[in-house]
Amino acid sequence: MSDKPAPAQPKRSRVVILSAFQDYRTPKRASIHQVAHALAQDGCDVSFISTRFSLISKKKGDSRLFLWDQANAWHKVDGVNCYLWRTPLHPFATNNAVADAVMAKLFPLFARLPNADIDGAFQAADYIVIESSVAAIFIDRIKRLNPTAKIIYYATDRLDTVGAHPYVRRHLVKNARHIDHVCLRSTKMVSDFLWAKDRLYRAEFGIDPADFETVGPSPYTAQRNAVAVGSMLFDESFFHAVAPQFPDVHFHVIGCGKSFKGPDNVFVHKEMPFRATLPYIKHASIGIAPYRLAPGVEYLAESSLKLGQYEYLQIPAVCPDFAVGANPFRAGYVSNDPASMIAATEKALALAGQVPARHFSTWTEVADRVLRPENYPDARIVAD
């Protein structure tokens, strides 16, 4: 028997993902879920911390409410350590100048609330990925607890577009020196991050082909079907305007974050697991991204996950003109213009069956770019 010691196992990178809106265990899959899953599959020790969850969340119909009784404790799911931090209350944007001024004083108090579980995760981490928006208020706390951790700001959305409180941007810029690099989903966000122009990288969304290999049969009964997936900036007026003009088309709305009564050929489905949405997309005639107009939404032309999934499954899309970009298989319409919406839907239906296949990076590649973008020369963004 050899007396040689067993070779040392390589140290697992410890990654904390911090979000103010998402929990890894929700049925829907935003890009931050995919990045967390990819990192865990790649051998990292991943902790996914979800914040900004309180009694106020019950009034707002938060998608994490089914986890209410599991809050404030660690749970392991798919190799990811999950923690939902529930507090009595949490600050938020009110869109009222006076109320927002009051809220601005509450954000720093909220960011200092004691939590030994979260602080322990911060202290042990090698990398801490902060998803865009309110989670940024914890940057100085993270740096104080762990001066050597690499802090990454993962900008999946613009703060103005998602309606973040002005305090969040002020805090982000104030603590810019603590952020090692910023990963943008779209180069159209660059103007928001000139304070980090020497540390800007691009990490687009990805596709894991295995997720799409066994999509399953069509769930539809009609010959022509349109599908809309997701809740971001959801504009239900699109369906009121368009559906009556296409009585032979069934419009399926999945996980839009609200319940509404549309025309008879509109079918509203609750949020469902990511893979359960795929038969609806694959077998649809067209996909719809009914974004409403908001400040700075042009970046969605490059960053929209649903539009990327529609393209991967080779169905044409209908979306506002600001989300079309250079894609010839997206039919754009003018926001709040019913005639334009109807014309775009007609155009998209005429393109059904003509969308060519396109290659996308895998989520493993995207996740590695988020942590180590310096290894990818094409990821660097040069800002003026």
Model confidence pLDDT, tens digit, residues 317-366: 999 999 999 999 999 999 999 999 999 999 999 999 999 998 899 999 99
Same structural domain, 178 and 68: yes
Confidence band of 5 (pLDDT split at 50, 70, 90): low
Q: What is the mean pLDDT of residues 22-33?
A: 93
In a domain, 373, yes or no: no
Same structural domain, 258 and 155: no
Same structural domain, 195 and 263: no
In a domain, 8, yes or no: no
Q: What is the mean pLDDT of residues 65-92?
A: 97
pLDDT at 258: 87
In a domain, 2, yes or no: no
In a domain, 383, yes or no: no
Catalytic residues: 157
Q: Is the pLDDT of residue 263 over 80?
A: yes
Same structural domain, 214 and 67: no
pLDDT at 370: 97
Confidence band of 46 (pLDDT split at 50, 70, 90): very high
Same structural domain, 28 and 173: yes
* Domain containing residue 174: 14-202
pLDDT at 316: 98
> Which tokens hold the place of 66?
């089914």
Give the model confidence (pLDDT) of 103-125 as tens digits: 999 999 999 999 999 999 999 99
* pTM for this predicted structure: 0.90
Question: Mean pLDDT score of the chain, rounded to an integer?
Answer: 94
In a domain, 264, yes or no: yes
Same structural domain, 253 and 194: no
In a domain, 235, yes or no: yes
Q: Is the pLDDT of residue 383 over 90?
A: no
Q: What is the mean pLDDT of residues 10-32?
A: 92
**The three-state (H, E, C) secondary structure of the chain, written as one string:** CCCCCCCCCCCCCEEEEEECCCCCCCCCCCHHHHHHHHHHHCCCEEEEEEEEECHHHHHHCCCCHHHHHHCCCCEEECCEEEEEEECCCCCCCCCCHHHHHHHHHHHHHHHCCCCHHHHHHHHHCCEEEEECCHHHHHHHHHHHHCCCCEEEEEECCCCCCCCCCHHHHHHHHHCHHHCCEEEECCHHHHHHHHHHHHHEEECCCCCCHHHHCCCCCCCCCCCEEEEEECCCCECCHHHHHHHHHCCCEEEEEECCCCCCCCCCCEEEECCCCHHHHHHHHHCCCEEECCECCCCCHHHHHHHCHHHHHHHHCCCCEEEEHHHCCCCCCEEEECCCCHHHHHHHHHHHHHHCCCCCCCCCCCHHHHHHHHHCHHHCHHHECCCC
Give the model confidence (pLDDT) of 279-306 as tens digits: 999 999 999 999 999 999 999 999 999 9
Q: Is the pLDDT of residue 2 over 70?
A: no
Same structural domain, 242 and 275: yes
Q: Is the pLDDT of residue 153 over 70?
A: yes
Q: Is the pLDDT of residue 202 over 70?
A: yes
Same structural domain, 198 and 214: no
More confident residue, 9 or 315: 315
* 173, 202, 231 - which closes a domain: 202
Same structural domain, 310 and 176: no
Same structural domain, 189 and 270: no
In a domain, 356, yes or no: no
Same structural domain, 167 and 279: no
Q: Is the pLDDT of residue 1 over 50?
A: no
* 150, 172, 202 - which closes a domain: 202
In a domain, 300, yes or no: yes
Same structural domain, 235 and 271: yes
Number of domains in the chain: 2
pLDDT at 3: 59
